[in-house]
Chain A
């Protein structure tokens, strides 16, 4: 993910704030449709697709991430066909439980919102994202926390991975160690994390840290960013109000209502 954050593209050059606002508007618009909506959601595909295309991030990457995250939505969504069995007539005379329609709608929304959020993050990179968050007014302590978490995520996770590997090598295929052994392994990991925090703090103090984390950043807002936000929000509003897909379909199929 971080690789993509360091790329350069029209999507990357947009202010992280602009992307944040547009993406949140997108998610709210998508989620505000009634449960049975399908065709009305279709025009919203355009937003993640355009952003993705502008960013040059490989679509397969986003697709994979969306699939990985899918089980939970599928899992809860599957209850809809179970509990909502009101018949619905589909074109061609097929009758299905209404729950299937709302299930499909859930999956569609899921794919839309997750992919939009992923493209937004991947095309921003963590530090631009955080700078954007801060300027929107997120608490400083939280923004700094996000930066530090992200910075040490991989460093500490690598330590965890090494410990797990060492443990697996000696555990002869058992599913996991006993609670006692677990306590000592994870406890060690915790102690190492605490030591690390201590050393990082020493290094920060050594360079004059006084409780405030200052960062260089360039803060011009450009017309382009504002236009980006305004255009998309206008589009979302229109697509939310009128079912564009259906209008197009009706026009093509010759006015079948």
Chain B
């Protein structure tokens, strides 16, 4: 279904202080694809992601999700289709209990409380956190917070999942769980991260950003195997690739 295509055309964004964080980005992501967005600090990854559900609006160019260009008017529909997991789960978990938080989205979309609760519980089960329902988000560990943040998105049954640094602050086990979870999704996935091994496992394609522009894009293993390119843009070739393809 063409509904889940994400497309950017000459997308640029200037922050109010005059800083042009992304400058003319173009790409197209097909239904069910899993795409990694990589690049050094300050490359503009987070800025780009915030455009995909209308949190930021373009200064130039446009973003299309399915049939709609993302504008102030269409952003409510776009937000139902695009679930966004933010970089800091503390920003995303603002309700007094985990269950309330996960049910927040469904309730806003007009579900009856009983139905919303069912959805929330199902989403929590999906990420393995159903036992934390009555906890306050503040008391959760970093991994639990991340998992719950993902559940808040799943509860809204989005078609597209967008994640900013999903594996930061996670211990190896939490990270492993996250990777398995991401692999199990059928959603279109767009993941900005510095965790290149995760990209390698989860994403079929990467977009390499630097200084607000797309440097290159292509199959994950190919792009990341180019040592000089990676070094040039503040990254490095993932270890697992080194073992497979020694220079």
Enumerate chain A interface residues (CB-CB to B < 8 A).
2-3, 5-6, 126-127, 130, 147-148, 150-152, 154-155, 196, 199-200, 202-210, 212-216
Contact = CB atoms under 8 A, between A and B. Distances in A.
B79 A199 contact: no
Interface in B133-183: 134-139, 152, 156
Contacts of A207: 79, 104-105, 108, 152, 156
Interface string B121-139: 0000000000000111111
A250 B109 CA distance: 67
B241 to A, nearest CB: 34
A250 to B, nearest CB: 50
Given A148-B94, A206-B55, A2 B138 contact: yes
Contact of A206 (B53, B88, B135): B53
Nearest to A215: B100
Contacts of B91: 196, 199-200, 202-203
10 contacts: A3-B139, A147-B95, A151-B138, A155-B138, A204-B104, A205-B55, A208-B79, A208-B156, A216-B116, A216-B117
B71 interface: no
Contacts, number: 92
| A152, A200, A210 pick with most chain B CB within 10 angstroms | A200
B88 A199 contact: yes
B139 A2 contact: yes
A214 B101 CA distance: 10
A79 B112 CA distance: 59
B104 to A, nearest CB: 6
Contacts of A155: 90, 138
B230 interface: no
A126 B136 CA distance: 10
A163 B139 CA distance: 22
A142 to B, nearest CB: 15
Contacts of B80: 208
A203 B103 CA distance: 14
Contacts of B96: 126-127, 130, 147, 150-151, 215
B100 A202 contact: no
A256 to B, nearest CB: 55
Interface residues of B, number: 38
A216 B99 contact: yes
A152 B83 CA distance: 23
B136 A216 contact: no
A200 B94 contact: yes
A154 B50 CA distance: 26
B193 interface: no
A204 B79 CA distance: 11
A210 B104 CA distance: 11
Name the residue in B86, B96, B105 with the highest tally of chain A Cβ atoms < 10 Å from its Cβ: B96
Nearest to B110: A208
A203 B135 contact: no
Given A151-B96, A203-B86, A207-B156, A216 B138 contact: no
Contacts of A202: 50, 55, 86, 91
A126 to B, nearest CB: 6
Contact of B95 (A205, A212, A215): A215
A127 B50 contact: no
A214 B137 contact: no
A126 B97 CA distance: 10
A207 B75 CA distance: 11
A2 B136 CA distance: 8
A6, A126, A152, A199, most chain B CB atoms within 10 A: A199
B200 to A, nearest CB: 28
B84 interface: yes
A205 B156 CA distance: 13
B109 to A, nearest CB: 5
A206 B90 contact: no
Identify the 9 closest CB pairs spanning chains A and B, nearest first: A127-B96, A208-B108, A207-B105, A214-B107, A199-B91, A202-B55, A203-B92, A206-B84, A215-B100
Given A203-B84, A208-B156, A216-B120, 18 more contacts: A126-B136, A151-B94, A151-B95, A151-B136, A154-B138, A199-B88, A200-B91, A200-B92, A202-B50, A205-B75, A205-B79, A206-B55, A207-B79, A208-B76, A209-B104, A213-B104, A216-B99, A216-B107
